[in-house]
Amino acid sequence: MQLENTEPEVNVASDLPENYNELKNSANRTANWRERLEAVEQLGQWKSQQSIDILKRRLDTDPVYQVQEAAYEKLSAWGEEVEKPSRSKYDVVKGIQKILLRVKKSLPRNHSYEEFKEKLKKMRIDVYDTYEGDKGADFDTWLEGMWKSL
Protein backbone atom coordinates (compact mmCIF):
# COMPACT_ATOMS: atom_id res chain seq x y z
CA MET A 1 0.00 0.00 0.00
CA GLN A 2 1.38 3.37 -1.01
CA LEU A 3 0.49 6.47 0.97
CA GLU A 4 -0.61 9.48 -0.99
CA ASN A 5 1.60 12.54 -0.59
CA THR A 6 -0.52 15.47 0.56
CA GLU A 7 2.38 17.93 0.69
CA PRO A 8 2.35 20.54 -2.07
CA GLU A 9 4.85 19.57 -4.72
CA VAL A 10 7.82 21.90 -5.05
CA ASN A 11 9.61 21.62 -8.35
CA VAL A 12 13.07 22.86 -7.58
CA ALA A 13 15.71 22.65 -10.27
CA SER A 14 19.36 23.50 -9.96
CA ASP A 15 19.52 25.43 -13.21
CA LEU A 16 17.72 28.42 -14.67
CA PRO A 17 14.43 28.52 -16.57
CA GLU A 18 14.57 29.30 -20.27
CA ASN A 19 12.85 32.62 -19.63
CA TYR A 20 15.19 33.64 -16.79
CA ASN A 21 16.06 37.06 -18.27
CA GLU A 22 12.38 37.82 -18.78
CA LEU A 23 11.60 36.79 -15.19
CA LYS A 24 14.52 38.85 -13.90
CA ASN A 25 13.16 41.91 -15.72
CA SER A 26 9.63 41.22 -14.45
CA ALA A 27 10.88 40.90 -10.87
CA ASN A 28 12.33 44.40 -11.13
CA ARG A 29 9.45 46.11 -12.95
CA THR A 30 8.47 48.94 -10.61
CA ALA A 31 5.09 49.73 -12.13
CA ASN A 32 3.54 46.28 -11.86
CA TRP A 33 3.41 44.51 -8.51
CA ARG A 34 1.41 41.59 -9.95
CA GLU A 35 4.15 40.95 -12.50
CA ARG A 36 6.79 41.05 -9.73
CA LEU A 37 4.72 38.62 -7.67
CA GLU A 38 4.36 36.23 -10.61
CA ALA A 39 8.11 36.43 -11.30
CA VAL A 40 8.83 35.60 -7.64
CA GLU A 41 6.47 32.61 -7.83
CA GLN A 42 8.11 31.30 -11.01
CA LEU A 43 11.70 31.92 -9.89
CA GLY A 44 10.79 30.14 -6.67
CA GLN A 45 10.62 26.91 -8.68
CA TRP A 46 14.26 27.17 -9.83
CA LYS A 47 16.74 27.10 -6.98
CA SER A 48 19.93 28.76 -8.12
CA GLN A 49 22.14 31.51 -6.77
CA GLN A 50 20.66 33.91 -9.35
CA SER A 51 17.11 33.14 -8.21
CA ILE A 52 18.09 33.41 -4.55
CA ASP A 53 19.68 36.82 -5.18
CA ILE A 54 16.59 38.14 -6.97
CA LEU A 55 14.22 36.81 -4.30
CA LYS A 56 16.33 38.30 -1.52
CA ARG A 57 16.25 41.67 -3.29
CA ARG A 58 12.43 41.48 -3.56
CA LEU A 59 12.22 40.48 0.11
CA ASP A 60 14.40 43.39 1.22
CA THR A 61 13.29 46.17 -1.11
CA ASP A 62 9.87 45.54 -2.60
CA PRO A 63 7.34 48.14 -1.48
CA VAL A 64 4.43 45.67 -1.74
CA TYR A 65 4.09 43.36 1.24
CA GLN A 66 2.57 40.49 -0.80
CA VAL A 67 5.69 40.35 -2.99
CA GLN A 68 7.98 40.42 0.06
CA GLU A 69 5.97 37.64 1.69
CA ALA A 70 6.08 35.43 -1.42
CA ALA A 71 9.85 35.89 -1.69
CA TYR A 72 10.20 35.00 1.99
CA GLU A 73 8.13 31.83 1.58
CA LYS A 74 10.22 30.63 -1.39
CA LEU A 75 13.54 31.41 0.30
CA SER A 76 12.46 29.76 3.56
CA ALA A 77 11.37 26.63 1.69
CA TRP A 78 14.89 26.43 0.27
CA GLY A 79 16.40 26.65 3.75
CA GLU A 80 17.72 30.19 3.35
CA GLU A 81 18.07 32.10 6.59
CA VAL A 82 15.82 35.08 6.01
CA GLU A 83 13.72 37.22 8.29
CA LYS A 84 9.94 37.27 7.86
CA PRO A 85 8.86 40.66 6.49
CA SER A 86 6.53 42.91 8.43
CA ARG A 87 4.15 45.51 7.06
CA SER A 88 5.59 49.00 7.06
CA LYS A 89 3.90 51.43 9.40
CA TYR A 90 5.26 54.34 7.36
CA ASP A 91 4.30 55.61 3.92
CA VAL A 92 5.17 53.01 1.32
CA VAL A 93 6.18 55.80 -1.08
CA LYS A 94 8.09 58.68 0.46
CA GLY A 95 6.36 62.02 -0.05
CA ILE A 96 3.00 60.51 -1.01
CA GLN A 97 1.09 63.59 0.22
CA LYS A 98 3.06 65.89 -2.10
CA ILE A 99 2.66 63.52 -5.04
CA LEU A 100 -1.10 63.28 -4.58
CA LEU A 101 -1.43 67.04 -4.06
CA ARG A 102 0.47 67.65 -7.31
CA VAL A 103 -1.96 65.35 -9.14
CA LYS A 104 -4.98 67.05 -7.56
CA LYS A 105 -3.70 70.53 -8.47
CA SER A 106 -3.28 69.44 -12.09
CA LEU A 107 -7.04 68.88 -12.37
CA PRO A 108 -9.91 71.41 -12.55
CA ARG A 109 -11.21 72.58 -9.18
CA ASN A 110 -14.48 70.59 -9.32
CA HIS A 111 -13.02 67.29 -10.56
CA SER A 112 -14.38 63.95 -9.38
CA TYR A 113 -12.59 61.25 -7.44
CA GLU A 114 -12.63 59.04 -10.57
CA GLU A 115 -10.88 61.79 -12.56
CA PHE A 116 -8.28 62.09 -9.81
CA LYS A 117 -7.75 58.33 -9.75
CA GLU A 118 -7.29 58.17 -13.54
CA LYS A 119 -4.89 61.13 -13.52
CA LEU A 120 -2.79 59.51 -10.79
CA LYS A 121 -2.69 56.33 -12.84
CA LYS A 122 -1.49 58.27 -15.91
CA MET A 123 0.99 60.53 -14.11
CA ARG A 124 2.43 58.09 -11.57
CA ILE A 125 1.60 54.48 -12.45
CA ASP A 126 4.44 53.39 -10.14
CA VAL A 127 2.78 55.05 -7.14
CA TYR A 128 -0.70 53.91 -8.15
CA ASP A 129 0.46 50.32 -8.63
CA THR A 130 2.47 50.21 -5.41
CA TYR A 131 -0.42 51.40 -3.26
CA GLU A 132 -2.94 49.23 -5.12
CA GLY A 133 -0.79 46.22 -4.24
CA ASP A 134 -0.12 47.34 -0.69
CA LYS A 135 -3.70 48.28 0.20
CA GLY A 136 -5.43 45.46 -1.67
CA ALA A 137 -9.22 45.61 -1.35
CA ASP A 138 -8.93 48.80 0.75
CA PHE A 139 -7.14 50.73 -2.02
CA ASP A 140 -10.14 52.74 -3.28
CA THR A 141 -11.26 53.63 0.24
CA TRP A 142 -7.73 54.73 1.15
CA LEU A 143 -7.18 56.71 -2.07
CA GLU A 144 -10.54 58.46 -1.85
CA GLY A 145 -9.83 59.36 1.77
CA MET A 146 -6.46 60.79 0.76
CA TRP A 147 -8.07 62.75 -2.10
CA LYS A 148 -10.70 64.24 0.23
CA SER A 149 -8.05 65.26 2.77
CA LEU A 150 -5.91 67.18 0.28
Identify the segments of the chain with pLDDT beneath 50.
1, 3, 5-9
Q: Which domain holds residue 28?
A: 19-78
Is residue 51 in a domain? Answer: yes
Q: 89 lies in a domain?
A: no
Domain for residue 12, yes or no? Answer: no
Question: End of a domain among 78, 108, 124?
Answer: 78
Sequence-ordered list of residues with C-beta below 8 angstroms from that of 58, at least 6 positions apart, any chain: 27, 36, 40, 67, 68, 70, 71
Please report the pLDDT score of residue 16 as a whole number: 86
116-138: burial string, b at 16+ Cβ within 10 Å, e else: bbebbeeebebbbbbbbbbbeee
The pLDDT value given to residue 88: 80
pLDDT at 12: 54
pLDDT of residue 14: 55
Angle at 100 between CA 96 and CA 101, to 5 degrees: 115
In a shared domain, residues 70 and 101? no
Question: pLDDT at position 5, please?
Answer: 45
**Is residue 42 included in any domain, yes or no?**
yes
The domain tally of the chain equals 2
pLDDT for 31: 87
Residue 124 C-beta-side C-alpha neighbours within 13 Å: 19
- Residue 86 lies inside a defined structural domain of this protein: no
User: Does residue 13 form part of some domain?
Assistant: no
Considering the domain boundaries, does residue 59 fall inside one? Answer: yes
| Same structural domain, 103 and 129 | yes
106 plus 138 within the same structural domain? yes
- Write the CB contacts of 60 (distance below 8 Å, at least 6 apart in sequence): none
Q: Is residue 131 one of the residues assigned to a domain?
A: yes
- What is the per-residue pLDDT for 13? 52
pLDDT of residue 91: 86
Structural contact between residues 37 and 66, judged by C-beta atoms closer than 8 angstroms: yes
Residue 128 has a pLDDT of: 96
Q: Is the pTM of this model over 0.75?
A: yes
